[in-house]
Structure 1
Amino acid sequence: MAISLAPEHDLVKSFAKLPESVEIPDLIQIQLDSFRWFQEEGLKELFEEISPIQDYTGTRLDLNFIDYEFQEPQHTITECQEQSMTYASPLYVTVQVVVKSTGEIKEQELFLCDFPLMTDKGTFIISGAERVVVSQLTRFPGVYFTLEKDPATERESGTAKLVAERGAWLDFDTSSQDVISVKVSGKRKILATTLLRAVGYESDDTLFSLFQDVDNSPDHSFIRSTIERDPLIKNKTSALFDIYRKLSSGEAPSLDSAEKLLNNFLFNPKRYNLAKIGRYKINKKLGLNISPDYTGLTPQDLVQIIRRLIAINNGRESPDDIDHLGNRRARTVGFSVQRQFHSGLLRLEKAIKARVSIVGPEAATPTTLINVHPIAAAVREFFARSQLSQFMDQTNALAELTHKRRLSAMGPGGLTRERAGFEVRDVHYSHYGRICPIETPEGPNIGLIGSLATYARINEYGFVETPYHKVIHEVPNVKEELLGRTIREDIVDDQGNLIAKSATLVIKKTAQRLCSLPLKTIKVVPFVSDQVTYLAADEEEQYVIAQANVVFNERNKFVNETVEVRKGNKYFRELANKIDFIDVSPRQIFGTSACLIPFLEHDDANRALMGCNMQRQAVPLMLPRAPLVATGMEKEVAKYSGQVIFAPDDGIVTSVTSSQIVIQDKDGKEHTYKLSKFLRTNQRTCIDQYPRVNKGDRVKKGQVLADSSSTNDGELALGKNIICAFMSWEGWNYEDAIVISHRLVKDDVYTSIHIEKYKTEARDTGLGPEELTIDIPNISEDSLIELDEKGVIRIGAEVKPGDVLVGKITPKGETEPSAEEKLLRAIFGGKAREVKDSSLRMPPGEWGRVINVRVFSRDNYDELPIGVNTLVQVWVAQKRKISVGDKMSGRHGNKGVISVILPEEDMPFLPDGTPVDIVLNPLGVPSRMNIGQVLEAHLGWAAQVLGFRALSPVFYGADAIDIEDALARVWIAWNAGAVNFDPESSSGEDSAAADQGKIKEWLQGHGFVAEEVMNEKNRGMARRVSLILWLEEQGIKGDGDSYVRNLSDEDLEHLSQKIYKERRVYPPTFGKIELRDGKTGMPFDQPVAVGNIYMMKLIHLVEDKVHARSTGPYSLITQQPLGGKAQFGGQRFGEMEVWALEGYGAAHTLQEMLTIKSDDLMGRAKAYEAIVKGEDIQQPGIPEAAKVLFMELRSLGLAVELLSEP
């Protein structure tokens, strides 16, 4: 069936029930802003913090970092990718050394390191590969209070943990004897009163007075119990000595040493740092007024922590919700890099201090003191090996984008998957609008890795914020603000005269009178403003927030008196005048992947999760198409993926080739846009940009200039729209298997391009240099036909397994020649040196066409590693058609593996003879509860037949009436003979729109006005008309010809259901069609749900998994074949397979499997020989596994021997 979306029918119908009030923000801005902050502010903070670096005595010299500068990168991004280099900028610092004894100042600019730079797409190029630094969700620095139950006494006691950005962590806990103690970094417990005495609160009276208003429970006296636990500690001195003994496991040499130790642990800002956010959180939680710029700990902090802990123990305060997003921050790339750079600076500081004592202050200069290796090593270590620096998922444009928006609770200082419990993984109410509740991995990382919600942003402190529209309750007493508003209370002047009554609509005259009053603000009936406010999770706790789908009138006033709202973790109905904020969009709850699933609200969350993850695994196709049923998010994802080129300004296209586009702007200036051609991604898929404009076209700002492999006309396109039937087909779609038509193979509907890169190096060896040459020993001329004179394969050559890509020879070590050889050499001259063939060949199972070759040589002054003379890189592309064993999926988690590819003539076909493209099992719908796929199929069918594209955003898109109306219009068009299908078309997704003239004529013939029936605004009209005409077609007359037409909508529905049950004939709104069997031509027993569904081919391709082995590598100990394709291994014949053969009594087959086909060394060698010679295979011997067993028994001291028969 053909549907060609011709330009005149390329109509987009939006089923959105709400207008878009806030634009989708830049989806990768988080990465770009964070790295920019690091470059401009983060590094500056570090250098200011570490300066001055002094020698150990503190009297000889100071070293200061004055300034720093990032210089221009030495190589472009493309050069770095091609030559496996890092895209980095040289970082230079200005360093000043001040000799204290003479006052001499020495200043120099030094090279510190090559610092990796972020590209415009938010990625890093490290050793030629694109990487992403994901954001990390960690605890904020600050204090956290919890309640823990004592298993012995069943009593709940409070604990507190003081978390520092840098420095010791303090754990406060309460024992069952009401004693409060503190652990510093997990060392021995110190009594809380001992710590307070050490910081200046010495006497018992002082301690009692500090806590008298909270520690007044008749049952528990915490301070008294703690003092009584160690009666010997009565003053500051004894307290300091006790703390020293417990923290450093020895007696303090002096009071100064004890005091210095405590200060270093807790009060030295260089060693103990809460960071600005930690100070902000502590001030807010404990009600302190300490300066936000002071990031150290104070004695007041300790007092307030203990006060709050006692209050929690006494039940007056509630503990913290540790999983609340207000207690967790997103540490973005800038903060992560800053933290790593700080560790490098600390190593550098230590090295500088040691160096001063060797060099001496007079001879010291910045160059002699600073060794840059610790910094370079720290940076390299982070980008190459950190858990947060990840190989970018480039399977398609969506995978790339979502990877940059990922949040991980794992990583340095974070959780591990083994220790993380259910609570930390679960969805929390504070995630609303901040972290997507759907998108997370399915495996052991579930809940530990998440994704930012669509509208979420991360502020300077690391809080994840989400936007809301502010609800205005009072406006300034200004004419412009008052006009059109409704007053909420009576307003009188100074003399008590009524100026305006409550519920008065303010017009010009009223506004003038109100403005003359000395009132600053006027209370009005609440209305939703355009003002957008971003709130963090802890900030929104105090507000009443309504949903985005609240009904309000044209003046943005609430229509209903009460509205469904939420406050904190409570959901209830509230009066409209109590609402503070309203959501900006129903889709702000979800991440970008979830927002791409139409009818998400009808899918079970588990299947929606699979749908999100599988969209990221979709392979870019050769001929991508945007979905017929979209959500409107496709354009945004494509826009921020970085793979689509948009016009930055109005202009004219002056030149278009496959590799570049030239635009001339209004000022006559030309802009050239290079297109990426057949680029290999990290996942071996292909990025290939192609122009969407022609020479001479006028382009507007924001217009699409070039599409990519996974976009279509500037929209994300991960799959194809194909005709789907939900039915079983001879058992071939049992257990989620999929039956597809050969058309999908023949017409390259699901053909994708995959690119592999092969490389070889010609090195210097101990026996001489390796050479690239076509003169390879022991190889036929036919095998060298595609190689050039240097032995490098030509571009365009077709290659198969074992073919030579690059000819290379390596010198072989020579043995001492015999006397005869020496004589012959002396007579005839030196013989040709011995070399071995070390050519680069195509691996087993790989094939394709060579699309690019690059040769880097030291002779051409290319940068190469030490010892490498020449580097050759060969790119080979494969065109993979869809095949049996490939995995396919829809957007609703409806996944399956292709079990059979049927000829087109055998597929079930429609009444007009068009075969369907894919057959899915209907049993895959009810148990999985992903009804969205059925709704998508129905709406897609209507879009295909009537020639439009549907936009149905999540949670406010098409509803049941919209879909039934669309199906009714399809039925009308079908019966009017207005559907023009072109069976010759190669695409099942394009169709000429239905013939409107025929529809009009047919409806008029039945007494209906076509304009009313086919008008989208008349909701339910098409459904009603189609049911009336269908019932009349079924011969339902009633009391007269107009009986059916006079029935109400509800009665029409009941009557249709009744006729369906009696006659098993489906009404038009059921979306079912009578299909016929392609083999017999007979109709199936029941009409079948047929629709247009968007299906994707996933990267789990059978060609990457299947391989064949006859002989190959064996395990050293067991001598059994290795497993897996990478090891060229065999198929495991395990315990259960042995049982199967035993059950059938196949003794000889079983013996063969366990011996000559596995680990009988002698037997398999003789069997191979016998097969080659065409002889009979001899009796198998003893497998190696039996010998290993005997050895293990002997190791236990058992004399086990195998005795052969006499």
Structure 2
Amino acid sequence: SRLSYGRIPNLVELKDLIATQLESFAWFKTEGLRELFDEINPITDYTGKNFELKFLDYEFGSPKFSVEECRNRDMTYAAPLRIKTRLTIKETGEIKESEVYMGDFAMMTEEGTFIVNGTERVVVSQLVRSPGVYFTAAEDPNTGRKLFGAKLIPNRGAWLEIETSAKDLLTVKIDRKRKVPVTVLLKALELPQMKGTENDRDAQRRAMQELFGDVDDNAEHRYMDATLEKDTTTKTEDALLELYRRVRPGDPPSVDNARNLLQSLFFNPRRFDLGRVGRYKVDKRLGRDEEDILDRVKKRELRILEKGDFIAILRKLIELNNAPREKQIPDDIDHLGNRRVRAVGELLQNQFRMGLIRMERIIKERMTISDPHTVTSASLINARPVVAAIKEFFGSSQLSQFMDQHNPLSELTHKRRLSALGPGGLSRERAGFDVRDVHHSHYGRICPIETPEGPNIGLIGNLATYAKVNEFGFVESPFRRVYNRMSVADGEADKLAGRTLRRAALDQKGNEVLPANHLVDIKDLPKLTKGKVPSVDIVPWVSTEVEYLSADEEDMFGIAQANAALTAEGHFVDARVPARTRSHYGLEDVGNIQYMDVSPKQIVSVATALIPFLEHDDAGRALMGANMQRQAVPLLVTDAPLVGTGVEYYAAKDSGEMIVADVAGTVVDVANPKDMKAVHATPVFEIVVKPDAGGPDRHYPLQKFARSNQGTCLNHRALVRPGQHVDAGDILADGPAIDNGEMALGRNVLVAFMPWEGYNFEDAILLSERVVKEDMYTSIHIEEHESEARETKLGPEEITRDIPNVADDALRNLDERGIVYIGAEVQQGDILVGKITPKGETELSAEERLLRAIFGEKAREVRDSSLRVPHGERGIVVDVKVFSRENKDELGPGINEMVRVYLAQKRKISAGDKMAGRHGNKGVVARIMPAEDMPYLPDGTPVDIVLNPLGVPSRMNLGQVLETHLGWVAHALGIKIATPVFDGAPMATIVAELEKAGLPADGKVR
């Protein structure tokens, strides 16, 4: 329904914005856990003679409670994990198979969140350095020569670092300990080439020549010779002892210990693991064949270090040291080809592994003291360490965060966030400028705009709109394939029809089959195949095929921008177009272009893509604009923007706050509260759809006046009526800050840029009283108050209406149980829950003792400990939840009953509140003026807001000026407009539209 000014067609639909979270968790459930059990299988006792325990298979049960119940009852949304085990008693050969319960495992909801103890949490993906081998260069200050080093970083285990000194000496550091010449390690590895070279320097030189002679060929710098000179060891045993002394200083060395240490450091899969990614990166960097690499990655036994890897790394290092200066290119650690995303699944897998290792130790200990006749899998397995490890991760990990639920956009961006912080990542203090900076490989992968302003700037980013994470954890971006040459044989022949030849098509003998500039027809194809023409050069043609490329793959190609002019047939209009190759941006000949961007908005994140005329804003202000949209409070009446970007619908749909039909059917029932089970049970509202295809009715629960994590109001408004037919994908209900299925974070108001008596000095904002009266910026906030009746030493606390020394007037809002009614309006100091606590005899004052002596009555020994409305608060009670042991609710130790009261309050905008536009134009409301005192248009319409014009030029966020002009047009014509980022309405169009709407062309009125 929006009039779009975008000129570039949308080839890829913006969907599945939280796929990273959902896919990663699905991987963990199916493959991640399987890998862990394969790693740990089999568990034997310390002697290896008595028992062997194997984990065969596992399955998740269904969650005990629904997502809604878990939210309401403060529970964790979790499913039971059961494992099939096989226990072999070696003494008797008996095999016992059984199923063991491994505790409840937190499950991800359909919205990509976890519910832990009733609160919604998000696990943020972590951006870490990828395991693999990296070559770095340091410059020798005396000679200016580049000296290369290599670092082998595994997924788990000891690091291996090799350095080149100015004296051509190659040294190795194992696990960041002291240096040792690399030849020591080569001898200790007991390579076949080193056999028979003991105590013979010349033989050792010949062995080195055999291994490295073809690369170590610089007469001025003989690296292996120089290293051998420095090496004092003569045989394998000496080398092993020398290594042991360096890695374990202080321990008495022995050859066996040294051999075992080396074995466990690099060749034991339990201690050293390159991981699938590490093996892939090592093989790729060492130039192994692509098809071999993909085969090798799948083999678990290749995830340890091979002796060949060490030799290949050394060869590569010497090769780089000897290369001509222009080819001496070190690896860029900030390149996204060298950084990968650890999403939820992998983070959970790492945590689960720690729990399994602890559990394994307990199993081994129990095996030593178990009786072979009575032992069972259940008696050996204690699942507590695993459950505790997962609980610890969700409860206290830096990456498991309380979900930002201010509005639907903040929810969505939180799930798409990438953090370089956290365990195994960087720390704020140590992160330098390079890590935080925008890198050319971020293009289409990580948003260059949206990042925090404080100490975390650049360390926390957001996925770009179309970016996705591949199986290795590298971020990919989509591109359109550009064909310059087409193969006739490889199934590309059918695409040749309609293409124009750039050069004549020649057969194998060099005879012309088709001339240059010939438009290929279907009839021409047999000629090409008959003439055995292998491939033909065509005029560059931009196809509609979309390929996802990782940063490494993208570096090999020339890529045109999405706004390059194309003909109807898909050819470039110009001979040279703006393009980029790695970090080089410039005009490129179309013959050198292999790919083209799919959309201009692919470089920015979803929040940034919501800013109209982003291309006219300074980056710093756009950053503030993108961040402040996430802080918008959902309003009482939502209002979709008159000037949007076309992304509003997609952002709202995937935010998880909008209810969308997943089947076609007929609406049966809309938001009728179901029967309440008790006085204070929360009513359940839902939309019921009868599917066209048959089967059970679909129930879509609605949230009515629920409290979000940040205290804002979550309220669904149904958009359908009973009897209405809906298709799959139709919107059933709007959520907070959503209007007709579009993100609606603010209101459309009439703005004047002019100074007004100094009230809008320094970004202050002047507001019309009309805005307040008409509740344009009124929001609902919900606070939660809770009271617990505990067991005390003097007896139990009691929730009651019978409170000592309280007037009847104070009890007017309480029901017979002493709990406030839903709908009651309360002020500060009012009682919400009446509660009495027993007090000891000793606490009686002299007066009380006298009264008791006179009247002889045994006054009740209780004191008033009721829950009252805190100071400065007021509101209407919208919900009351009662938890008690009688209802089988889970309560903490010593708690008999718990009551939660939710107070809602309407807050109108007032002086001192912060307001902001989408362009980083923020300010504080300085004064609210009567509408009649506000500046007005020639037709007498008073404006709603007065902003200071001086806030525009120095801030360089001209997008706000263009937005107000186009918004005026949209308001006058009664339409909604989409102006996509980097593809929006040009200046001339806005002027023409203003004139068409009968408004001044310059937008100025007196």
Length-normalised TM-score, structure 2: 0.93
Who is 1:268 aligned against? 268
Structure 1 position 30 matched with structure 2 position 20: yes
Structure 1 position 244 matched with structure 2 position 244: yes
Who is 2:725 aligned against? 698
Q: How many residues align?
A: 968
Q: 2:157 aligns with which of 167, 180, 193?
A: 167
Aligned-pair CA distance for 1:712: 0.5
Q: CA 1:668–1:255 in structure 2 vs 1: closer, same or farther (change >3 Å)? A: closer
Aligned ranges for residues 491-640 of structure 1 at < 5 Å? 491=505, 498-519=512-533, 521-640=535-654
Map Cα deviations across residues 670-701 of structure 1 (whole Å, 9 max, x no partner).
43322111111101011111111233433344
Aligned-pair CA distance for 1:811: 1.2
Distance 1:397 1:712 in 2: 12
Structure 1 position 938 matched with structure 2 position 965: yes
Q: 2:984 aligns with which of 947, 957, 973?
A: 957
Distance 2:807 2:139 in 1: 79
Aligned-pair CA distance for 1:224: 2.5
Map Cα deviations across residues 219-250 of structure 1 (whole Å, 9 max, x no partner).
4333223222232x011110011112222224
Distance 1:221 1:773 in 2: 91
- 1:244–1:250: 8 Å Cα contact kept in structure 2? no
Map Cα deviations across residues 991-1019 of structure 1 (whole Å, 9 max, x no partner).
xxxxxxxxxxxxxxxxxxxxxxxxxxxxx
Map Cα deviations across residues 580-603 of structure 1 (whole Å, 9 max, x no partner).
111111110111011000000000
Who is 1:847 aligned against? 874
**Larger Rg, first or second structure (1 or 2):** 1
Structure 1 position 414 matched with structure 2 position 414: no
Aligned-pair CA distance for 1:560: 1.5
Q: 1:385 aligns with which of 374, 396, 407?
A: 396
Map Cα deviations across residues 359-399 of structure 1 (whole Å, 9 max, x no partner).
25554321222111111110000000001100000000000
Structure 1 gap segments, 5+ residues each: 1-10, 975-1067, 1075-1206
Who is 2:883 aligned against? 856
Amino acid at match of 1:831: K
Who is 1:19 aligned against? 9
Distance 2:268 2:142 in 1: 40
Q: CA 1:631–1:251 in structure 2 vs 1: closer, same or farther (change >3 Å)? A: closer
Q: 1:185 aligns with which of 172, 175, 182?
A: 175
Q: 2:486 aligns with which of 474, 477, 497?
A: 474
Distance 2:779 2:488 in 1: 61
Distance 2:692 2:53 in 1: 54
Q: Give the SS at the match of 2:822.
A: coil
Q: 1:787 aligns with which of 794, 804, 814?
A: 814
Aligned ranges for residues 145-160 of structure 1 at < 5 Å? 145-149=135-139, 156-160=146-150
Q: 1:712 aligns with which of 729, 739, 750?
A: 739
Per mean C-alpha deviation after superposition, the further-off stretch among 345-354 and 935-944 is 345-354
Q: 1:872 aligns with which of 875, 878, 899?
A: 899
Aligned ranges for residues 51-130 of structure 1 at < 5 Å? 51-130=41-120
Distance 2:91 2:821 in 1: 70
Aligned ranges for residues 192-591 of structure 1 at < 5 Å? 192-201=182-191, 202=194, 203=197, 204-205=204-205, 206-231=207-232, 233-250=233-250, 254-288=254-288, 291-292=296-297, 293=299, 294-316=302-324, 317-472=328-483, 473-476=485-488, 480-491=494-505, 498-519=512-533, 521-591=535-605
Per mean C-alpha deviation after superposition, the further-off stretch among 423-432 and 208-217 is 208-217
Map Cα deviations across residues 124-179 of structure 1 (whole Å, 9 max, x no partner).
00111000001000011111121234678876532222111111112222334333
Distance 2:528 2:163 in 1: 60
Q: CA 1:811–1:819 in structure 2 vs 1: closer, same or farther (change >3 Å)? A: closer
Who is 1:898 aligned against? 925
Who is 2:1005 aligned against? 1073
Q: CA 1:360–1:216 in structure 2 vs 1: closer, same or farther (change >3 Å)? A: farther
Distance 1:432 1:32 in 2: 24
Aligned-pair CA distance for 1:837: 1.7
Who is 1:812 aligned against? 839
Who is 2:946 aligned against? 919
- 2:73–2:889: 8 Å Cα contact kept in structure 1? no
Aligned-pair CA distance for 1:200: 1.7
Aligned-pair CA distance for 1:823: 13
Q: Give the SS at the match of 2:989.
A: helix
User: Identity percentage over the alignment?
Assistant: 54
Aligned-pair CA distance for 1:818: 12
Aligned-pair CA distance for 1:839: 1.2
Q: Give the SS at the match of 2:133.
A: strand
Q: CA 1:821–1:613 in structure 2 vs 1: closer, same or farther (change >3 Å)? A: closer
Per mean C-alpha deviation after superposition, the further-off stretch among 218-227 and 752-761 is 218-227
Distance 2:507 2:146 in 1: 59
Q: Give the SS at the match of 2:270.
A: coil
Distance 1:756 1:742 in 2: 27
Q: CA 1:580–1:773 in structure 2 vs 1: closer, same or farther (change >3 Å)? A: same
Distance 2:379 2:856 in 1: 58
Distance 1:491 1:34 in 2: 48
Amino acid at match of 1:474: M
Q: CA 1:122–1:654 in structure 2 vs 1: closer, same or farther (change >3 Å)? A: same
- 1:739–1:901: 8 Å Cα contact kept in structure 2? yes
Map Cα deviations across residues 901-954 of structure 1 (whole Å, 9 max, x no partner).
000000001111110000000110011100000000111111111221111000
- 1:137–1:329: 8 Å Cα contact kept in structure 2? yes
Per mean C-alpha deviation after superposition, the further-off stretch among 426-435 and 757-766 is 757-766
Distance 1:75 1:870 in 2: 21
Aligned-pair CA distance for 1:475: 4.9
Q: Give the SS at the match of 1:335.
A: helix
Q: CA 1:487–1:848 in structure 2 vs 1: closer, same or farther (change >3 Å)? A: same
Q: 2:690 aligns with which of 664, 670, 683?
A: 664
Q: Give the SS at the match of 2:1001.
A: helix
Per mean C-alpha deviation after superposition, the further-off stretch among 84-93 and 853-862 is 853-862
Q: Give the SS at the match of 2:636.
A: coil
Q: CA 1:737–1:640 in structure 2 vs 1: closer, same or farther (change >3 Å)? A: same
Aligned-pair CA distance for 1:649: 4.0
Distance 2:34 2:776 in 1: 54
Measured on the aligned residues, the alpha-carbon RMSD in Å equals: 2.3
Distance 1:270 1:53 in 2: 13
- 1:479–1:512: 8 Å Cα contact kept in structure 2? no
Structure 1 position 648 matched with structure 2 position 662: yes
Per mean C-alpha deviation after superposition, the further-off stretch among 688-697 and 399-408 is 688-697
Structure 2 gap segments, 5+ residues each: 198-203, 673-684
Structure 1 position 754 matched with structure 2 position 781: yes
Aligned-pair CA distance for 1:883: 0.5
- 2:15–2:654: 8 Å Cα contact kept in structure 1? no
Per mean C-alpha deviation after superposition, the further-off stretch among 932-941 and 510-519 is 510-519
Q: CA 1:663–1:80 in structure 2 vs 1: closer, same or farther (change >3 Å)? A: closer
Length-normalised TM-score, structure 1: 0.78
Q: Give the SS at the match of 1:326.
A: coil
Distance 2:70 2:189 in 1: 56
Per mean C-alpha deviation after superposition, the further-off stretch among 660-669 and 368-377 is 660-669
Aligned-pair CA distance for 1:207: 2.2
